[in-house]
Every structure is written in structure tokens, then in C-alpha cells.
Amino acid sequence: MPNQSVRVHSIDTTKIKRIKNDPLGRYAVNDLINIYLKENTDIDEFVSDFQKKLPNDTIVVNYYAEAYKRIQFSVNEKRKEFIKNIAKADTSAVKFVTNEWVFKKQQNTSDPGFNSVKNTWFYKKIGVFDAWQKTKGDPNIKIAVLDDGFDLKHIELKNSYVTPWNVFDYSNNVYARPETQFHGTHVAGIIVAEANNNFGIAGVAPECKIIPVQISNESGIITTSSLLDGIFYALKNDAKVINISIAMSIGPQARNLSLHDQKLIEKFSFHEEQELWDEVFEIVQKENAIIVQAAGNDGVIASVDPMKRSEKTIIVGATNENDERAYFSDKGDAVNVYAPGTDIYSTLPNNQMDYLDGTSMASPIVAGCVGLVLSAHPDLSPKEVIALFSKQNDQNIPFNVNDLISKSL
């Protein structure tokens, strides 16, 4: 496939649109389609044959990857649905055809403050201090953080990472912007902020290492393809845990859907995307890794999102200091475990520290705790770890990591 890039191209933000007739009003890059091929399909041959089927359409290969056999085409927006249907008809070569969906980060900003008694409330709540008597982590347990960017010069992070990667730049050049791309820095600090350095606080698993993977472009946009690239980069670099603190970008009307309508969407919508993510998560499990992902901040049942329907990941909801589900947290049977997600103190760019709320904060708390459990019990399988954390879901009370380590003995 001459002159075609194997890296994700930057996104034309003018093409991001709410998709007509999508029951959740989701957003996608409207001139792109993603085609996922069956394992034995030759990408070059498929592209040539597909373009011949549509001689009057300009179909440009925007991106392709051998990992999970995928191609992204740039097409005329007005012809997109027709072209997708032509691709779906090729059942001998094609598994899935989807839009290039846009994801959003799952944080809310809370009141700023430093040196507050609130700084460590969640450590006590989930038994981190007791767990540290057994382990503070193992540097061989690498936790990939797939997010919008990272300030790796931060005092709390500069000694805590390995093999950074930017899927858009196709380089190790990851970066953060204080006003728009601070999310990943905060998430990373929750997991591995350095201990005993006379600055800030420590992460949940301060002696583990993170693999920081920037999956957003310079505008902070995260898409299906950049997320998949991040997952496969993490696996290639031996991540044992992969934290994903993002969720689908839905329209405001979706937050007002009745529970009945939400369950109808869960049951009848987005099956193709559900199968795609289930396959990806099965690959992750076979590579002996565990995905931990934020449930979402829309207050709906998490499983309206097809990425949140698999039993092969740990899906994390958020609680407040009173052990109640946070008002914003997604919920429902798909949520494996709840963790603190309000007033979470962690790192921000330029050596700053501050509080954020969100399932984006609850997820790395759990990812760090998974790191502690694996540090103490490295022979546990992903299925065993997922089952261990899933038993903690009673919709209200967060888990205790010290108890989980003890139960694993």
C-alpha cells in the first residue's frame, strides 16, 4: 500500500458532527469510516478490490494497521452510509464497519485547594495505607495510561514512567497543556505519583511504572482508531494493566432518557460495536493484561455504551466521601466496582496539584489497586483479578484493596 501512513492522521475538527438517527446523539468524524477485516484478509488486495467496486467515488486510505486488521477510509460525507453498506455486504472479508467515533474524558473540575485534609481521604477509604504494609507496587507491573497527554517533567511523574508514546505523532513526544490537556497528567498521578519526595502526595501504586500513551491530537480529540492504537501499543510494551478514563461522547438528550429507554438501547443498539470491543478485550485478556475503564459521567446505565458491555474489563463507577454513588456516575449491572471519584487530589501540568471529580479519577484508583494486587500476587490471571474486583460491587460502598490482597493469598 504505497505512500500510506500506518499512523493515525490528525482530525479535521470541522468534520465532527452529531450522527443523525443515533439513539444517543453521539459524535463522529463524519467523513471517515473504519473497516475491520477478517484475520486472513490481505489489506492491499481488499483496498484495491473495494475501490474498484466504487469507481465513481473518491475513497482514500487515511490509515491502516495490521494490528486487528483495520483500515480507515476518507469518503464523501453524503455517500458515507452507502459506502458503509457496500463494505458490510462483503462478508467474506469484512467483520465490522463503523464510524470514527469521538470520545470524551470523564472528569469534572471541583474547587481548587492545596494542603487540605481532603487530600488523602480516598486512601483511607479504600485501605491503601494498610495495603502499603504489604506492597507499594512492583516496577515490573506496568500500567498503561491511555489519555489526552502527560507532563512527564512533573516532579511526581518524572521517575515513574517507561516507553511513552504519542499515537498521532508516532513518536515518544507526549505533552500536556494546562488549560486543555491536563486530564492524563491527573490520571497518571493518581496511579504512580512518587512517594517520599517531599512534594504533593503519592500515587496508589507508587512503585509500579506507567506507560503513558497519548491518544489525543493537539486539540484533545480522541477517536476509535487512536484508542485502538493505544491499546495495541500497550500490549506490545508488556502492560499488565491498561487504564482508559474515557467514554463515548453523547448528546444532551441521552442524559434525559428514561431507564426503560436506556435498557432498550442496551438490548437493541450498537451490536456491531459491542462485538468489536468484545473481540479487542478478548485479545487483551489473551495477552495477560487487564483493562480498567471509567463507567462514564452521564448518570445513565453504563451499558448504553457498547464499549462498556464486555465482561472482560473492569468498569468503574464513582462514589463520594459518604459512600454514595456520585450524582454524575454511570451505573447499572455493567459496573464491576465503585471507587472514590469526588475531590480527588493529584498532579496537573507545570508541577501543580489540584482536585478533580469524575469516574476518570475512580478508574485509575482501581487501576492502581489492580497494580498492587498483581504486585503481591503476580500469578493471578486477568479473569481472576476481574472476578476479585467484581465481587465488591454493592452499588454504594467502595472496595478495600488491603482486603483484596489478603483474599488473594
The catalytic site residues sit at 147, 183, 360
User: Strand 142-147 to strand 241-244: parallel, antiparallel, or no bridges (unpaired)?
Assistant: parallel
Q: Are the C-beta atoms of residues 22 and 80 closer than 8 Å to each other?
A: no
How many whole angstroms separate alpha carbon 10 and alpha carbon 226? 10
Cα-based distances in Å from 74 to 46, 79, 111, 389? 16, 11, 43, 41
How many whole angstroms separate alpha carbon 124 and alpha carbon 130? 8
Q: Are the C-beta atoms of residues 150 and 193 closer than 8 Å to each other?
A: no
**Contact partners, residue 218, CB within 8 Å, separation at least 6:** 10, 168
* Residue 325 grid cell: 454513588
**3-state DSSP assignment of residue 326:** coil
Closest by CA position to 377, among listed 408, 331, 344: 408
Closest by CA position to 126, among listed 380, 409, 337: 337
Q: Which residue has the cell 467484581?
A: 390
Closest by CA position to 189, among listed 400, 351, 357, 329: 351
Q: Are the C-beta atoms of residues 101 and 24 closer than 8 Å to each other?
A: no
Q: Are the C-beta atoms of residues 70 and 84 closer than 8 Å to each other?
A: no
Long-range CB contacts (within 8 A, 24+) of 11-17: 11/217, 11/219, 11/221, 11/223, 13/219, 13/221, 15/77, 16/102, 16/221
Residue type, 139: P
How many whole angstroms separate alpha carbon 149 and alpha carbon 215? 7
